[in-house]
């Protein structure tokens, strides 16, 4: 049953990744066409062609370098055998148990307890942990957290979640640029005030809806993936209490990690939890509920 669930999840994550890429490409093409209409309608198709070339290279670059972009954004550094020998042994052992290639290992300098996995597939994956996690968790708890992240790698959660972090980020940036450029265009080309005003309204709507879009897509990553990774991680270690205890310690922490909101869903626990207004819009299920499920196994 577990194998069937994992295979179903892999198929769904691959499909969601493809749909996301198509959506972002279409969005970039639309932005290019509208900008052409604003600046010079006779050049609209030229702008569309430029947007097509840009979107192709951007998506291609993002797909193959999304893990590097994410790691750079959180200022993570590679782990080394001298300083992180135990961590590397745990990762190697659990990778063998999960029957996947050993992920590259990175470390974030922060006292908070957290971790995340990134990459495009098991052959090109990364697990990043905080220094706080290594200091505050015991052996079984660290193994539980690593097993959870290993499960995200095993079922291709990382591909969709990492693409979301990078591709959605550019959508938000372009929406903001779009809004600013439309304001400038309106002031500098009064002879096209009527058409520019209509496009200006479209631009403002994009700017207002972009944050909502980000939240919807982040929620599309689904809380279910955290429960599945918890269960799969517990299966790898054969000790659900290890992860449950780690989550219990995370729940007691009050601090946050200053990361980009688009990257936050990658973590095992929301690093921006202090800013969370409602569980309804949280990218992670309540920790208390996850602990309860783990201890009920």
Q: List residues with catalytic annotation.
A: 149
Cα gap 191→204, rounded to integer Å? 21
Q: Are strands 104-108 and 124-130 parallel, antiparallel or unpaired?
A: parallel
Give the whole-angstrom CA distance, residue 41 versus residue 100.
Answer: 52
How is 148-185 classified by DSSP, letter by letter?
Answer: HHHHHHHTTHHHHHHHIIIIIHHHHHHHHHHHHHHHHH
Q: Which residue, 128, 125, 92, 135, is CA-closest to 107?
A: 128
Nearest to 157 by CA among 210, 233, 216: 233
How many separate helices (H) and strands (E) can be counted in the chain? 11, 4
Q: Residue 248: name the closest of 145, 158, 168 by CA.
A: 145
143 within 8 A of 111, measured Cβ to Cβ: no
């Amino acid at each position: 049953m577990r194998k069937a669930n994992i295979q179903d999840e892999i198929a769904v994550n691959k499909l969601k990744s493809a749909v996301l890429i198509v959506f972002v490409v279409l969005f970039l093409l639309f932005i290019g066409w509208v900008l052409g209409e604003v600046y010079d309608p006779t050049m609209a198709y030229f702008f569309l062609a430029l947007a097509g070339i840009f979107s192709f290279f951007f998506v291609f670059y993002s797909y193959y370098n999304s893990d590097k972009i994410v790691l750079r954004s959180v200022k993570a550094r590679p782990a080394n055998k001298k300083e992180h020998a135990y961590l590397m042994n745990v990762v190697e052992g659990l990778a063998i148990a999960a029957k996947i290639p050993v992920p590259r290992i990175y470390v974030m300098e922060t006292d908070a307890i957290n971790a995340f996995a990134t990459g495009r597939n098991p052959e090109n994956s990364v697990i990043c942990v905080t220094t706080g996690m290594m200091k505050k968790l015991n052996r079984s708890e660290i193994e539980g957290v690593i097993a959870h992240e290993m499960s995200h790698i095993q079922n291709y959660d990382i591909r969709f979640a990492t693409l979301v972090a990078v591709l959605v980020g550019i959508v938000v940036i372009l929406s903001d640029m779009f809004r600013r450029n439309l304001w400038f265009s309106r002031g500098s080309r009064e002879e096209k005030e009527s058409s520019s005003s209509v496009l200006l309204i479209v631009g403002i709507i994009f700017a207002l809806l972009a944050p909502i879009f980000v939240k919807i897509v982040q929620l599309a990553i689904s809380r279910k993936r955290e429960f599945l990774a918890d269960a799969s991680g517990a299966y790898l270690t054969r000790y659900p209490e290890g992860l449950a205890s780690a989550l219990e310690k995370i729940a007691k922490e009050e601090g946050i990690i200053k990361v980009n909101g688009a990257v936050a869903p990658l973590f095992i626990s929301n690093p921006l939890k202090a800013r969370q207004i409602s569980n309804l819009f949280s990218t992670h299920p309540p920790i208390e509920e996850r602990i309860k499920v783990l201890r009920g196994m």
